[in-house]
Structure 1
Amino acid sequence: MSLEKLDVGTLKKSGYMKQKQKDLFVVRLRMPCGNVTCEQLAGISEIAKKYGTGYIHITTRQGIQIPNVDIHNLDAITKELEDNGTPPGSCGPRVRNILSCPGNLECNYGIIDTYGMGGMLDREFFGEDMPVKIKFAVTGCPNACAKPQENDLGAMGILKPAIYTQDCTGCGTCTFMCPEKAIVVEDDKAKIIWDKCNLCGACVGACPSDLITEEWKGYRLFVGGKIGKHPKLGRELVDAKSPQEAIAIFRKIINWSKKNTHVGERFGDCIDRVGFETFRKEILG
């Protein structure tokens, strides 16, 4: 069936958003983690010239959209975008484009492979029909540049350090490297104050004698965040030790949301209505 024969609501779910001008649409592209090749970018440019008015918009969620596309050209632009490797994306009550920071592939502070995690989330959840829009964000460390606490579902890289105190000389170098002041020297031995430690991993490699190492690293999962008219920060749910474990927990959450979230009710508001502890037990019980 031709796209121009579909209703506006159905088109929106697939990334075609009706503009205020008659018969014109914005076409939003699928772009997990905001990554696009130079060749794809050049292709998008040519497609925007051909079917739009020669410019594109960079969205706040690391995506690209082409405005001013006539409804009669939706089938043609879709075919060219798919051939370009940048197909139309998702809008409306579905899982939206996956957002992430560069993670440990590029950033000095990155703990996890955010592109890898983002790709897994994209393959598992992108475009899935929901009672309301669901936004994911993946960030590489507790600096939280990708703002996982401001999204419905978020994952943050964390690293638990270990100190071999028996060989520690108490030089104090590590205390200066900890941004949270979570390391102190007591009785000439370095000690981690776990209530202050945010698992950023900055202390690993800071010891001149290499006595601080990685015990484990994983993913801290957040739920229920949003921005907009009534913003709220997401809450910590649980720590996962592997991307597979994190994906499995997110799958439980997505399925739970389908059963419990009212149409149009943001996920965080649903959690508040049901009760966070009830939600937590049903997901992790």
Structure 2
Amino acid sequence: MAVDYKELKKGGFMRQRQKDCFSMRLKSVGGHFTAAQLGTIQQVAEKFGKGYVHLTSRQGIEIPFIRLEDIDEVKKALHEGGVSVGVCGPRVRTITACQGCAVCASGLIDTQKLANEFDKRYGGRELPHKFKFGFTGCHNNCLKAEENDVGVKGGIKPQWAQDNCTFCGVCEAVCPEKAITVDAANGEVRIDRDKCVYCGKCIKSCPTDAWQGKAGFVISFGGLYGNRIAVGRHFLPIVFEEEKLYAIVDATLAFFEEYAKPSERFANCLDRVGWDKLEKRVEEILCVRK
């Protein structure tokens, strides 16, 4: 019987050099696996593979040397242990995320919660080409948000509380974009909103809580890391509501489906049809949902 290798790859089985052997990709969301799932993966790797796994660059796990004749039995063993096979091909791929504010002291947003919600809404969705989402909790950017087709970074919009300020100048010193000017002589602190990147360093460093703020989402578009490298672009203000974030993503994926040629990555599509078209599309979402 003929083997449909394209369908196998779509279902997470990548052909190896060795005849009828596959490196099996497992489903991961935000790099999170339970200890019980890891136990199942160990058992499958020992029984059906060669006793080891490969950790991918996108927080996933692959088990090499799965034989063609064992695939159905392997799927059954994984399912019984609460593990799913991943996906490949032209669709939404593994969603990456750092630990976020639920664990990390630097985190500004709950990246794991968002990654799981994105997986429910968009995981495995078929598109003109592969599409990657990545979440990082703060501007330390451990998960490199701008490498993704759409990246979401935790940010915070600072507001100055004059009554608490001692004009010590710490905020001006730590601001990486030199957006803050402290004028102690006149009792003023000014922030250039066009320079602010919502990193929150002024808030974290202020000894008197003179800087406060609300956390939100800093979104980048069109990142690419492969044969061609492109850094995702920022053109939206910080977004605070989750529903606005989903609406922006819905519009972005619809745009990709509408304009992309088959096997054309999102960044290449935007370069061809014009970034201004996407900017107008997503900016309309913010205006409508104010």
- Normalised by the size of structure 2, how large is the TM-score? 0.91
Query: What one-letter code is carried by the residue in structure 2 that aligns with 1:277?
Result: D
Tell me the equivalent position of 1:51.
Answer: 48
Counterpart secondary structure, 1:33: coil
**Alpha-carbon displacement from aligned partner over 1:70-93 (angstroms, at most 9, x marks no partner):** 111111111211222220001111
* Preserved CA contact (<8 Å) 1:15 1:89: yes
Tell me the equivalent position of 2:222.
Answer: 224
How many angstroms apart in 1 are the aligned matches of 2:242 and 2:145?
16
How many angstroms apart in 2 are the aligned matches of 1:49 and 1:270?
43
* Preserved CA contact (<8 Å) 2:164 2:209: no
How many angstroms apart in 1 are the aligned matches of 2:116 and 2:220?
18
**Alpha-carbon displacement from aligned partner over 1:132-153 (angstroms, at most 9, x marks no partner):** 1111111111222211111111
CA drift of 1:6 comes to 5.3
How many angstroms apart in 2 are the aligned matches of 1:202 and 1:138?
19
Tell me the equivalent position of 2:153.
Answer: 156
CA drift of 1:180 comes to 3.8
Tell me the equivalent position of 2:272.
Answer: 273
Tell me the equivalent position of 2:287.
Answer: none
Tell me the equivalent position of 2:288.
Answer: none
Query: What one-letter code is carried by the residue in structure 2 that aligns with 1:227?
Result: Y
Tell me the equivalent position of 2:101.
Answer: 104
Asked if residue 260 in structure 1 is aligned to residue 259 in structure 2, the reply is yes
Tell me the equivalent position of 2:28.
Answer: 31
Tell me the equivalent position of 2:137.
Answer: 140
Tell me the equivalent position of 1:121.
Answer: 118
Counterpart secondary structure, 1:20: coil
What value does the CA root-mean-square deviation take over the aligned residues? 1.8
Quick one: structure 1 residues 283 and 199, their matched pair in 2 at CA, closer, same or farther if it must change by over 3 Å? closer
Quick one: structure 1 residues 127 and 209, their matched pair in 2 at CA, closer, same or farther if it must change by over 3 Å? same
Query: What one-letter code is carried by the residue in structure 1 that aligns with 2:223?
Result: G
* Preserved CA contact (<8 Å) 2:163 2:210: no
The size of the alignment, in residue pairs, is 281
Quick one: structure 1 residues 13 and 237, their matched pair in 2 at CA, closer, same or farther if it must change by over 3 Å? farther
Tell me the equivalent position of 2:11.
Answer: 14
Query: What one-letter code is carried by the residue in structure 2 that aligns with 1:229?
Result: N
**Alpha-carbon displacement from aligned partner over 1:86-109 (angstroms, at most 9, x marks no partner):** 200011111100011111122222
* Preserved CA contact (<8 Å) 1:172 1:190: no
Tell me the equivalent position of 2:63.
Answer: 66
Tell me the equivalent position of 2:233.
Answer: 235
Q: Say which is worse superposed, 196-205 or 133-142, in terms of deviation.
A: 196-205
How many angstroms apart in 2 are the aligned matches of 1:256 and 1:230?
21
**Alpha-carbon displacement from aligned partner over 1:193-233 (angstroms, at most 9, x marks no partner):** 3333221112225333322211x221111111111121111
How many angstroms apart in 1 are the aligned matches of 2:53 and 2:165?
57
- Normalised by the size of structure 1, how large is the TM-score? 0.92
Asked if residue 202 in structure 1 is aligned to residue 201 in structure 2, the reply is yes
Query: What one-letter code is carried by the residue in structure 2 that aligns with 1:247?
Result: Y
Q: Say which is worse superposed, 240-249 or 264-273, in terms of deviation.
A: 240-249
Q: Say which is worse superposed, 221-230 or 62-71, in terms of deviation.
A: 221-230
Counterpart secondary structure, 2:230: coil
Counterpart secondary structure, 1:122: helix
Query: What one-letter code is carried by the residue in structure 2 that aligns with 1:218?
Result: G
CA drift of 1:177 comes to 4.2
How many angstroms apart in 2 are the aligned matches of 1:192 and 1:56?
50
Q: Aligned ranges for residues 170-209 of structure 1 at < 5 Å?
A: 170-186=167-183, 187-209=186-208
Percent identity of paired positions between Structure 1 and Structure 2: 38
Q: Say which is worse superposed, 154-163 or 245-254, in terms of deviation.
A: 245-254
How many angstroms apart in 1 are the aligned matches of 2:165 and 2:175?
16
Query: What one-letter code is carried by the residue in structure 2 that aligns with 1:69?
Result: I
* Preserved CA contact (<8 Å) 1:142 1:158: yes
Counterpart secondary structure, 1:240: coil
CA drift of 1:277 comes to 0.3
Tell me the equivalent position of 2:85.
Answer: 88
CA drift of 1:184 comes to 2.4
Structure 1: gaps of 5 or more residues: none
Counterpart secondary structure, 1:235: coil
Quick one: structure 1 residues 279 and 210, their matched pair in 2 at CA, closer, same or farther if it must change by over 3 Å? closer
